[in-house]
Chains A and B, each alone.
Chain A
Amino acid sequence: MTIQENKKSTFYKVGRRHFEYRIIPKVNNVWNRTRFPFTKRHFLKWRGVYNINGLKRERLLKDKMPLWWLIGLSLVLFVTPNLSPQLIGVSSIFCIYSSINILWTLIVGTAGIFSFATLAVLGVSGYIAAAANVYMDIPWPYMFLIGAFTGFIFGTILAAPSTRLDGLYYALLTIGIAEICRVFVLQLRVLAPQNGSITKVDSFIPDKYFLQPEGMIIGFYASFLLLLFCLLIWRLINSERLGLLLRTAKNSREDEAFAEAIGIDFRRARLWVFIISSSALGFVGAFYAMYFKSISPTIFSIDQLMILFAMMVIGGIGRAEGAVVGAAIVTFIDKGLIELGPIRIIIIAIIMLVVTIFAREGITGARKQFRIFRLRKSGERRALRTEKNGEVMPEEATEIFDKQEIYYRRFNKRLRDNLKKIITPELIEEHKKNPTGNHSDSLARVLNFFRRADTADKYALKKIKKTNSKNVYQVIAFSGIKTHPPRIVDDKEYSELSEALHAVFILRVNDLLES
């Protein structure tokens, strides 16, 4: 009989524990974690925990993102050299765009400055570095320095109004600056014969290999190194002190006020992030000019900016992985499927639209959003199939540390269910006749339950002396909180004590039936 019953009932997996992979270490093993040289940081975020059931030792990986980064980056690194030259080119451009996007994410996400001058900084530094190389014969390794320095100067100039202007106004200002740069470059008389572009820039790709398979491979490795460099900058800014300071003042005006109150100069931190990222963008600008061996005014155009913005949006604004994933998708469609013609821009726009309608934070935020959605749905389904009534649900039970509490609430619920059954009009009539003494068994049970309740759930009687020396009673309820006086339940006054006692009984019965 019992076996059959077991077969009928369905068991639901509850809690989130079965989603987590845990390593069970050997008992006497001394646990060593390797550290980055010269720092106290570990490679992976391992945490030693004890399983609540049985207190077994377990090892838990709290943050799995580094593993995903390792898999993704090594895929790019090892797959690309085996591809066709055209796809190697696409992969290199992906690396360059990801680098730009990561630096832009630092400005938009970490610093929270809505700047569209990314490509303007990049272009100006690229132009100056390329001009230094072509017209002043400065060898190419110095171009990086010149680019970074230009980015630093330009970033400092751009950062000045960012604290003064509101988000949208600053975005407009930066778009305007990009346009001004484009017009300025186009009207330079020196560059007029080449339509504003600088060509024949010297670079790390030797001239005889340029646009050859060997040159493509060199270009790819260089841009991969650039990507790693930008990820390092991301890590150093976003996850270290500056990022920590800025995270305090990230979300709203109130957060900013709070940060200010505890002594964080978040404006200064924002400026620093902006200036550092701009310098790095200048570095990337020099790289860009070298990689293509030329630089043209299209880098300042709004279309180019929109493609980069689409990457950030599709991946998810404010995350490094979003910048890289978005760059991978958009670069593949834009540069890899070039035979599709203008349709590919439509495809990018439609992806952008769909992602933005359905995902709150781009593709990389979809997982978190899905988890929240799943939790809500499972809660809704559970609410449909169970009746809670004060009892602890299995999902809640995993969160409550004191298991005694769970059993007490379950007991209490069942007790109340039983008491509700024995409350009848006859029982109430019996109490009305004789509130104080000699109760029947069922009435005694109900009254016992009432006596055990918390103070906050109880009522009392207040005796009021009237002028004609006759006592009346009023029902009051305790607040249950110290120093908070009891409140008067209603304005009824009872002249007999037994009447008042019965009124309290009726109130308690009502509370019980409603619970």
Chain B
Amino acid sequence: MIDLSLLPYALNLAAIYALMAISISMIWSSIGMLNLAHGATFAVSGYAAWNLSIIFKPIILSIFGKTLIAKLLMGFVLISSAMVAGAMFGLIIYLLAFLPIHDKPNYPVRSLIITLAINIATIQILLFMFGARNKGLPKIFGFGKFEIFEIPIRYDQAGTIISTIIILGLMLSWLKFSRMGIEIRAMMQNPEGAAYSGISRRTTAIPVLMITGALAGVSAALLSQTIFVSPTSGSIPLIKGLTIALLGGLGNVPGAMIGAVLIGFLEAIVGSIQQRYVMFSTFIFIIIVLIIRPRGIGGLLDDTRE
């Protein structure tokens, strides 16, 4: 009998992984870049949120005291600062890894290498500036837990799950209905056709990288409710996001979501038995899936398109 209290934990993990995996998947399918600097975006926005929270915490406390408004305001400051920092970092990635080489030979491999270099350099620069010590962000959702159907749920878990659902819903509907979202989806489905209908890859890449950077910022702010901010805090979410994006089939948003939920549950279950085997079991699971379905869970679509 599986302990039902694992459920919120698994969903919490799945929410964060889904945020990362969907961004990576989106970048890959729209502009053909495997963004390995996503972990760096994660860490940078975590640090930005931490810095701003230090500046704003005394101000908010002195004006509003310990009221609900202060808490909401604090949460707003945290998430928005992380989002803005993530978007700005996305712009840096655009300027370094996309703009100079997007029409040059061997672009996919070269952009992968550049984003990898950005990731390494950023982690080291953060280490250099802030040191290796973990920083704790203020808790937006507060401490404590409540019960639904006799399943205990911590406030931060519930907050993360709900805000992820809201943000993903907002983003997916933006992708579905806004003009720019339609352009991005056109590029994801058929880059050549999009180019023929006058959609510029160069200008569409800016919102893609900024939005995905902002998503990484959100996931940094949310995950930092559970763990700490540190220079290398982005690498585990990056690897997880990457593996889940691949597991779901690169460029496939529903596949990435299914993958995130599967891996979240797997990790929650394995983690409750023995924390050490989490990575191990994840990779074994992914290897099995890849051997059965060489293009990931949602990869069938790619085959038929070709």
Write the residues of chain A forming the contact surface with B, with a CB cutoff of 8 angstroms: 161, 164-166, 168-169, 172-173, 176-177, 179-180, 183-184, 186-187, 302, 306, 309-310, 313, 317, 342-343, 345-346, 348-350, 352-353, 356-357, 360-361
* Cβ of B266 under 8 Å from chain A: no
Whether A350 contacts B101 by the Cβ 8 Å rule is no
Q: Say yes or no: A169-B295 contact (C-beta < 8 A), given A176-B283, A183-B276.
A: yes
A164–B287 Cα distance when bound, in Å, is 12
Q: How far in angstroms is the closest Cβ of chain A from B28?
A: 9
Q: Can you name the residue of chain A whose Cβ is closest to the Cβ of B286?
A: A176
Query: Residues of B at under 8 Å CB distance from A?
Result: 34, 96, 100-101, 104-106, 109-110, 113-114, 116-118, 120-121, 124-125, 127-128, 235, 242-243, 246, 250, 276-277, 279-280, 283-284, 286-287, 290-291, 294-296
A342 and B246 form a contact (CB under 8 A): no
Q: Which of A169, A186, A346, A352 contacts B246 (CB 8 A)?
A: A169
In the bound complex, residues from chain B placing their C-beta under 8 Å from that of A342 are: 124, 127-128
| B242 CB contacts on chain A under 8 angstroms | 172
- In the complex formed, the residue of B with least CB distance to A172 is B246
A306 touches B246 (CB 8 A): no
Q: Enumerate chain A residues within 8 angstroms of B295, measured Cβ to Cβ.
A: 166, 169
- 9 A/B residue pairs, CB under 8 Å, sorted by A: A168-B246, A180-B283, A184-B280, A306-B120, A342-B128, A345-B124, A352-B114, A356-B110, A357-B110
Interfacial chain A residues near B291, Cβ < 8 Å: 161, 164
Given A172-B286, A180-B283, A343-B128, A350 and B294 contact (CB-CB distance below 8 Å): no
Which residue from B104, B128, B250 sits with its C-beta under 8 Å from A168? B250
Cross-chain contact of B279 among A164, A168, A179, A313 (Cβ < 8 A): A179
- Chain A, interface SS category: helix
B114 to chain A, nearest CB (A): 5
- With the chains together, A176 CA to B285 CA distance in Å? 10
Residues in B neighbouring A313, C-beta threshold 8 A: 113
Q: Chain B: which residue is nearest A165 at the CB level?
A: B294
With both beta carbons as reference points, the residue of chain B lying nearest to A170 in the complex is identified as B290
What CA separation (Å) do A177 and B243 show in the bound complex?
A: 13
A357 to B294, Cβ gap below 8 A? no
Contacting residues, chain A, for B110 (C-beta < 8 A): 356-357, 360
Residues of B within 8 A of A186 (CB): 276
Q: In the docked arrangement, what's the CA distance between A293 and B249, Å?
A: 43
Q: How far is the CB of A180 from chain B (nearest CB, A)?
A: 6
Partner of A349, one of B106, B117, B246, B250: B117
- Assess whether A360 is in contact with B114, with CB atoms less than 8 Å apart: no
For A356, the chain B residues whose CB sits under 8 A away are: 101, 110, 113-114, 117
Name A360's contact: one of B105, B279, B294 (CB within 8 Å).
Answer: B105
Closest chain B residue to A342, Cβ basis: B124
Q: How far is the CA of A350 from the CA of B120 in the complex (A)?
A: 9
In contact, A306 and B294 (Cβ under 8 angstroms): no
Nearest-neighbour CB distance to chain A for B195, whole angstroms, equals 20
Give the residues in chain B near A352, CB-CB below 8 Å.
113-114, 116-117, 120
A169 touches B296 (CB 8 A): yes
Contact call B117/A360, Cβ cutoff below 8 A: no
Residue pair B276, A349 in contact (C-beta under 8 Å): no
Q: Which residues of B contact A309 (CB under 8 A)?
A: 116
Question: Smallest distance from the beta carbon of B29 to chain A beta carbons, Å?
Answer: 12
The answer for the CA separation of A183 and B121 in the assembled complex, in Å, is: 27
In whole angstroms, how far apart are the Cα atoms of A310 and B117 in the complex?
A: 8
| Contact for A164 among B116, B127, B294, CB less than 8 A | B294
Are B106's CB and A360's CB within 8 A? yes
When C-beta atoms are compared, the residue in chain A nearest to B110 turns out to be A356
Bound Cα distance A302, B283 (Å): 14
**Residue with the greatest number of chain A CB neighbours at <10 A, chosen from B280, B284, B295:** B280
Q: Closest A-chain residue to B127, C-beta based?
A: A342
Closest 3 CB pairs of A and B: A176-B283, A349-B121, A352-B117
* Nearest chain B CB to A108 CB, angstrom units: 10
- State the CA gap A169–B283 with chains docked (Å): 12
**Minimum Cβ distance to chain B for residue A131 (Å):** 21
Q: Smallest CB–CB gap between B289 and chain A, Å? A: 10
Q: Are B287 and A357 in contact (CB under 8 A)?
A: no
Most buried by B among A164, A184, A343, A357: A357
A169 and B121 contact, CB distance less than 8 A: no
Given A179-B279, A357-B114, 14 more A-B residue pairs with CB atoms under 8 Å apart are A177-B283, A177-B287, A179-B283, A183-B280, A302-B235, A306-B120, A310-B117, A342-B127, A346-B124, A348-B120, A349-B117, A356-B110, A357-B101, A361-B106
B116 neighbours in A (Cβ, 8 Å): 306, 309, 352
Give the CA-CA distance A168 to B248 in the complex, in Å: 13
Distance in angstroms from B174 CB to nearest chain A CB is 28
Q: How far is the CA of A164 from the CA of B293 in the complex (A)?
A: 10
Q: Assess whether B290 is in contact with A173, with CB atoms less than 8 Å apart.
A: yes
B contact residues around A161 at 8 Å (CB): 290-291
Task: Answer whether A357 and B96 are a contact pair too, CB < 8 Å, given A306-B116, A350-B117.
Answer: yes
Complex Cα spacing A353 to B95, Å: 12
CA distance A184 to B280 in the complex (A): 9
By the criterion CB–CB under 8 Å, are A179 and B280 in contact? yes
Of chain A, the residue at the smallest CB distance from B284 is A180
Chain B residues in 8 Å Cβ range of A345: 120-121, 124
A346 touches B121 (CB 8 A): yes
| B34→A349 contact, CB < 8 A | no
A317 to B290, CA, bound (A): 26
Residue of A nearest to B111 (CB): A356
Q: What separation, in Å, do the CA atoms of A313 and B120 have in the docked complex? A: 14
A317 to B106, CA, bound (A): 11
Q: What is the CA–CA distance of A74 and B249 in the complex, to the nearest angstrom?
A: 49
Compute how far the CA of A179 lies from the CA of B191 in the bound complex, rounded to whole angstroms. 35
Q: A residues within 8 A CB of B284? A: 180
The answer to whether B246 and A165 have CB atoms under 8 Å apart is: no
Name the CB-closest residue of B to A186. Answer: B276
Are the CB atoms of A357 and B100 closer together than 8 Å? yes
Are B121 and A350 in contact (CB-based, < 8 A)?
yes
